[in-house]
Chains A and B, each alone.
Chain A
Amino acid sequence: MNSRIRKSVSACRPLVRAGAAALTAALILAGCSKSNEPETSGGPLHLRLISTDQYLHTLAYVFGPSVSLELKFPPMRRTNGLLANGAALAGVTTSQMEQYQRAASSVAAQVVDEDRRNYLIPCTPAAPDKADDACAKQFFSQTGRLLQRHTLSDAEVGEYVKQAGDAANQLKDFYAGLGMVLESMLISPEVLFIVEKSEADPDNEGKQRLDALSMASRLSFFLWDAAPDDELLKAAESGELNSHKGLKREVDRMLASPRLEAGVRAFFDDMFAFDTFDSLSKDATVYPFFTGATVADAREQTLRTVVDHLIHKNLDYRDLFTTRSTFMSPALAPLYQLPASQGWTPYEFPENSPRQGLLTQVSFLATHSHPGRSSPTLRGKALRELLLCQVVPPPPPNVDFSALNNPDAHYPTQRDRVAAHLNAPTCAGCHRITDPTGLALENFDGAGRFRTEENGVAINASGDLDGKPFENITGLAQALHDNPGLPNCLVNRVYSYGSGTAVKPTDRQLMQYFGEEFAADGYKMPDLLRTIVLSTAFSRVDPTKRTAPPAPKKEEPAPQITQNQQSTLSQNGL
């Protein structure tokens, strides 16, 4: 069944639920069959802290790109593979409040400054040195709605207008007064926290769903990494977003919007753990080509490749791991042993090139290496954890490194070196999981440069991935491409990212359903996003569920339990 027909099938779902008599009629009329989406209980309602990028994107859409801001709020805590999941748990410290305040102050000052006020403030006050309630009202109802993600009540607007009026009279400056109040709005809980609310689901008795405004925010922060725009808010406030038809229309519009790019970039930056770039550094004596510009461009190269492949070209997700198409910058060219280009330019590696897919890009190779050498273990671990959603246990604390520490041993290649692990039973369990894939990337050094030998010995890049043997990196790329864990992991992470909750074992059937839909759609990212946001599960919530247990009380005695260290590789959620 092709994707278009199946989408129209899911569009019939409300009719299907309308009752037995209507059901038969509906099936005949619309050619529907029942959706395969399994029943789910719904996740918790969230109170999510806005991320730095979400804040910046929203400000850029509300005030335009001329309002600039250099800021970085503290990072969320990576939870079940994603920083985004930390947003529903993160607290705010006093020093963070200072940061919000400084950012707000800078933005507000820019909005009301003489260069920008004429086009960012929709009216001109009768006199510039005192209050003008009508103009303030116009500004706060428009801007407040976009920043707070709902239409402000008359009382709310009235309060802002009054404050702005008092401030204007006090400072003898309409714009200064407006700026002060905008500043306070920008640090208000309504802006900094994304609050979800629920309502009874009329299609499913006894179940709760997100209310339309909460759904608008969930959709928008997921797909755009920014607050909803005017149109989406209108759809929510008119109730259209509650109908499958209205929702579908909005989702299609959002998927077609240029803002989707920012959303997809934010997702992959999170899934690929690119926050590690923030502290990545290489030993300059070993890798003189690897500079600060390389770090920034390596991250950018992969994100450009991803967006171009998945959004602009709408290609199969799995092909990202075999594609020879990418983008090249002057800072990256030396690492790829290529002549430098002017700025960013599309680049296609030749057919026989060992550079095939994201695993062979500097971003993957360099972040999962040591400062002065490659690391098959770190690379293998990253492949398992980031791309296949598996968990590789940490080394046991009492690990015996004596085999590696033998000062007389000389291991010419990494393969010889890590082979020592395999002789020790406590090490072998995990290293058998990480090393055979990591060793296939040994043709690239710790900075990502291609090489054929190490210490004068030819590199053997053969290995296997889950029983699939290969001879070199091309073989690994193909084995990863064909591994069912690859698209399943994406499905898992996308759903978790969008709904803000880690996928649980009880979601197995739902993930299987999304996975099957994804496969039937040819592993296209926009289709996956559409399937997920249009699913009943995406908007279903259970307000009785908790995001996380409250912070432990001080001095609470630790329970006397023994935890068994995970001794085997475990699948996460799937």
Chain B
Amino acid sequence: MNNLSRRRVLRGMLNGTAVTIGLPLLNCFLNNNGTALASGAPMPVRFGTWGWGLGMNKSIFVPKKLGLGFDLPEEIAALAPVRQHINLITNSTYFRDNYQNLCHYTGWVIARTGSAPKDTRDIPGETIDVTIANQIGGSTRFKSLTATATGDVRSTYSYENPNTPNSPEWSPLQFYTRLFGPDFPDPNAKEFKPDPRVMVRKSVLSGVKDQTNSLMKQVGAEDKQRLDQYFTGLRHLEQQFDQRLQKPEPIAACQRPGEIKVDPAMGQEAEAIAVRHRMMTDLLVMALACDQTRVFNMAYTNASSSAIKPGYEKPHHTTTHEEPVDMALGYQPTASWFTRRALESWAYFVDAFTKVKEGDGTLLDNVFIYATTDHGYARTHSLDGIPMFTAGRAGGKVKSGYHIDLAETATTRVGYTALRLFGVERPSWGVNSNNTNKEVSEILA
């Protein structure tokens, strides 16, 4: 971050790549409204993740054809409307090296951190969304937004460190209130009147920062690290107050959505999850359209999904282990039923970004979404044959509509590609066998 000079930023903006720069841009460029929109520069490129549990059934999921116009086997038939917007990446590998295969854990942790966990409490480093948010998320109202469709506050794939998960928004009502409630700085509001209370709030916050600094001197190294994190939170509040004191630039696509007054039914039925997923997705997409954040995470389910099919006695996770393979079909029919529901939601998620017009295209042109799961074949906890998706065109830097076979190489190549797209400069990503310096060049424009 420190190697960003004003000149470099200017050069970046002229090349149309200012989109990959967040906080540093603010710090050195002194833009008076905190967004790159005012100057007429291209819309920012945003990074997101999407997570589903329990992999897939290869025989009815993996297309026979590679490249553009790939076929849609029955398990992924729901992707037809969004096929041109996504890349389906198959046959990659989570390498556990000398660690155990921690069921429904090792896989997604590698996908998100690049490193195999040593036990089920281990998150070896921050997750990729945190790295990218540190790079681009500093100038918006929210550094990142994390949501889940499970209704469970524990369903998240985003961690600052093992003891600091980014807990998800799980209630559409609360998510609405946080995003579009009374504190929403509507960029298109006719009148702007800074609230004097916000000014006072900001000034009394300095007292809290002083207290934190003096407390930091009294505690050990590990606790100091935690207080440091808390201090970052205070600075974030301060920045939010600052933003509320400035008139936001109008954004044509931004519209406060209809108010959510009551939460939908909580429960783990696949349909209830789908309803929550749609509501959370719509809120998230509008938050992005209003430039409230540039980094987002959605957990459709957690890895050991507890989704329910009404009338079927076991939840998704148990089904993958205990349902017999139908010899005629060649797969577990109920387990596949759950996977198909997940892919319908994935299709909804991608499609939602196309509903917002941005410049000459849509919001989807200016995002890059990385979608991951925990296993290839959940029944046997396989860590090979891993499927992943990307969606969006990252401001024109990424092509979409391809099926790519990674030939058993590391899944981390996709994460590494994302890091590079967002200007995180590092020679490689991942640990031991998951370490890679090879992007998935097939998807780069």
Contact = CB atoms under 8 A, between A and B. Distances in A.
A285 B267 CA distance: 13
Interface in B118-173: 118-119, 121, 124-126, 142-146, 150-154, 160-167
Interface in A79-106: 79, 86, 89-98, 101
Contacts of B102: 397
B218 interface: yes
Nearest to B152: A279
Given A405-B324, A556-B124, A279 B237 contact: no
A184 interface: yes
Contact of A95 (B166, B220, B225, B381): B166
Given A91-B226, A97-B234, A405-B322, A171 B267 contact: no
A91 B161 contact: yes
B224 to A, nearest CB: 9
Interface string B184-220: 0000000000001101110111011001100100111
B298 to A, nearest CB: 15
Interface stretch (A69-77, A339-347, A520-528): A69-77
Contact of B98 (A167, A197, A546, A561): A561
Contacts of A285: 310-311
Contact of B163 (A77, A96, A180, A398): A77
A20 interface: no
Chain B contact residues (Cβ within 8 angstroms of A): what range? 35 or more
Nearest to A177: B200
A90 B164 CA distance: 6
Contacts of A558: 97-99, 115-116, 118, 124, 431-432
Interface in A430-451: 446
Given A47-B223, A184-B205, A547-B222, A171 B118 contact: no
Given A47-B226, A97-B233, A407-B327, A397 B98 contact: no
Contacts of B381: 397-398
A189 B311 contact: no
Interface string A482-521: 0000000000000000000000000000000000000000
A283 to B, nearest CB: 5
A329 B33 CA distance: 56
B313 A371 contact: yes
Main secondary structure of the interface of A (DSSP, over half): loop
Contacts of B44: none
B313 A163 contact: no
A297 to B, nearest CB: 16
A261 interface: no
Contacts of B144: 95
B204 A188 contact: no
Given A281-B308, A404-B322, A563-B118, A90 B222 contact: no
Nearest to B210: A159
Interface in B307-363: 308, 310-315, 318, 321-327
Q: Identify which of A184, A284, A395, A399 gathers the most chain B CB atoms within 10 Å of its CB.
A: A184
A478 B226 CA distance: 46
Given A180-B201, A281-B269, A407-B327, A94 B215 contact: no
B208 A555 contact: no
B29 interface: no
B314 A101 contact: no
B266 interface: yes
Interface in A512-557: 546-557
Given A98-B237, A546-B222, A563-B118, A181 B99 contact: no
B101 interface: yes
A370 interface: yes
A316 interface: no
A95 B146 contact: yes
B221 interface: yes
Contacts of A193: 215, 227, 230
Q: Identify which of A159, A283, A398, A561 gathers the most chain B CB atoms within 10 Å of its CB.
A: A283
A401 interface: yes
Contacts of B115: 555, 558
A177 B318 CA distance: 56
A397 B223 contact: no
Given A91-B164, A558-B115, A562-B98, A279 B154 contact: yes
Given A90-B164, A394-B103, A187 B208 contact: yes
A370 B211 contact: no
9 contacts: A79-B121, A91-B164, A92-B233, A163-B207, A176-B197, A195-B215, A551-B161, A551-B225, A556-B125
Given A184-B204, A189-B208, A556-B124, 9 more contacts: A89-B163, A92-B230, A92-B233, A195-B218, A372-B311, A373-B314, A550-B222, A554-B125, A558-B118
Interface of A: 45, 47, 72, 74-75, 77, 79, 86, 89-98, 101, 159-160, 163, 166-167, 170-171, 176-177, 180-181, 183-184, 187-190, 192-193, 195, 197, 278-279, 281, 283-286, 292, 370-373, 394-395, 397-399, 401, 404-407, 446, 546-558, 560-563, 565
